[in-house]
Structure 1
Amino acid sequence: MQSSLSTQIIALAGLSQAICLLQSLARHNKLEPELYQTTLASIANLNPESPLAVYGDDLNKISGGLQTIITQLEDSTKRDVEFTRYLVGVLALERKLNKNRANMAELGKQLAQLERQLQHFAVTDDTIVGRLADIYSDCISSLGSRIQVYGQPDVLKQTVVQQKVRALLLAAVRAAVLWRQAGGSRLNFIFQRRKLVAAAKHLLAQTTP
C-alpha cells in the first residue's frame, strides 16, 4: 500500500474508535452497537477494495474516531492520558507482531478460519467474540508487553467483558497494521501533528452531523 495521509487518518480513526469503545466497555459496560459491529468487522476485512472499506465504506462509522484524533492532537488541555497509554501500547504491540513471522503466519491462518465461521454467525455473536478473544491471546498477547486495561473491577472480572476487551484490542491492532502500511509511524505524531489534525477535520466535515 502506498503511503497516504488520508489512509493514515482512516486507520488512526479506526484505532481511536476501538480504544474509545474499550474505554466505554471497561468503565461503564456499555457499547454503541453499530460502532461495535463496524469495529469488529474490520478485523476480518483483510483485502478491502479501499482503506475506508475496512470500516464499511462510511466515514460516519468512524466519525467518533476522527473527532478523538482532533481532540487528542490539537488541544493538550483536553487530552486523555489513559487513551494515549492505550494508543502507545497498541502501536508497540503491532511493531512486535510485524517483526514476528511465526505469529503473523498464525494470525493469518486463524483469521482465514474465522471467515468461514462468519458465514454462520454475526461478528458480534458471543461465539465470534470469543473466537476473536482467543486469536488475540494466541497471536498478540504471547508477544509480551500486555496492555493494562483500566475500568470498573466488577465489570472487568466478567468473562464476557474480558472477551470483548480482547476482541476490541485485536481490532485496534488491525487498525495499527493499516496505519503502518500507509506510512504511519511514531514520528508522524511529532512532525506531522498539524497535517494529521487538518486531514481529520477534512474527513470529519464530510460526515453527516
Structure 2
Amino acid sequence: MLRTLRNQAIALAGLAQAVHLVQQIAKRGQADEEALAVSIASVLKIDAESVEDVFGGLAGIRDGLLKLRQQLGGRESIDPEHARYSAMLVFLESKLEKRPEVQQKIREGVEKAALQAAQSSVTDEAVLEILGQVYHQNISPLGPRIIVSGERRFLTDPANAPKIRALLLAGIRAAVLWRQCGGARWKFLLNRRKLMQETQALLDQLA
C-alpha cells in the first residue's frame, strides 16, 4: 500500500536530505558524498518497486531522517531556511503536476542523465550538468525561483551550480513521491506528531 504515513515520512526524509545537501554545498562548499549519491540516484530511479527502493533502502536517507526529525520537533529546533526551501519545492511540484508537457521534458532529460550515469557514475560531472539543466530549463520557469543563500565563493563556483540544481530536482522528485503517498500540506500540519513518531520508528530501525 502506497498511501501510508510511513511512506510519507520516507518521502519527506528524501526531501529533507536533498535540501540539507544544498545548504551544505552553499555554506561549506562540499556535501556528504554518500548522501549526495543517494539523492541524485533517486532522480534517475523513475520506476521503483517501493518508496524505500527509490533511495536504495532506509540507510540511504539516514541524514534526511535526522533532519526531518529536527524539523518536526519543537519550534526552537526548526531550521527556518530549510523549511522555506522545502515548502517552495513542494509548491513548485504542485505547479509541475498541472503541466504534463513539462513533465515529459523532465523525463526525457532524466533518461538522458541515466544513460550517462550508466557509463560513469551518478555523481559524474556530466550527469550533474544534465540534471542541473533539466531543473534550470523546466522547473525554474514555473516560479517562484528558489534563491539559495550561502557563501558567495561557493555559490559562484562553476562546479557547484549544477550540483545544487540537481539536488533541487531531487527535492522535486521527493515532493512528487510525497504527494503520490497521500501527502498534502494540511495533512502535514494535522499529522505532524504522527509523522514524528514514524520518523523516529524509521531511525530506530537503522539503530
Give TM class, smaller chain: over 0.9
Match of 1:99 in 2: 98
| 1:66 has 2:45 as partner | no
Structure 2 counterpart of 1:81, one-letter code = P
Identity %: 37
Report the RMSD for the aligned CA atoms in angstroms. Answer: 1.1
Shift of 1:65: 1.2
What is the CA distance between 1:170 and its match in structure 2?
A: 0.4
Q: Post-superposition shift, 1:112?
A: 2.1
Give the Cα–Cα distance (whole angstroms) in 1 for the partners of residues 2 and 70 of structure 2. Answer: 27
2:117–2:124 Cα contact (<8 Å) kept? no
* Corresponding letter in the other structure for 1:29: G
Question: TM-score when scaled to structure 1?
Answer: 0.95
Quick check: 85-94 or 65-74, which moved more?
Answer: 65-74
Q: Which residue of 2 aligns with 1:56?
A: 56
- In structure 1, C-alpha distance between the alignment counterparts of 2:64 and 2:84, rounded to whole Å: 16
For residues 107 and 30 of structure 2, the distance between their equivalents in structure 1, rounded to whole angstroms, comes to: 30
**3-state SS in 1 of match to 2:205:** coil
Does residue 173 (structure 1) correspond to residue 168 (structure 2)? The answer is no
- Which residue in the other structure is 2:133 paired with? 134
Distance 2:187 2:149 in 1: 27
Unaligned runs of 5+ in 2: none
Tell whether 2:151 aligns with 1:158. Answer: no
Per mean C-alpha deviation after superposition, the further-off stretch among 197-206 and 183-192 is 183-192
Structure-2 residue corresponding to 1:41: 41
- Structure 2 CA distance for aligned equivalents of residues 200 and 180 of structure 1: 17
Post-superposition shift, 1:167?
Answer: 0.6
Alpha carbons 2:128, 2:162 under 8 Å: kept: yes
Structure 1 runs of 4+ aligned residues shifted over 3 Å read none
Q: CA deviation at 1:73?
A: 1.4
Show CA shifts across 1:19-47 (max 9, x none).
11110100001211111111100001011
Q: Distance in 2 between matches of 1:162 and 1:178?
A: 25
User: What's 2:19 paired with?
Assistant: 19
TM-score (norm. length: structure 2):
0.96
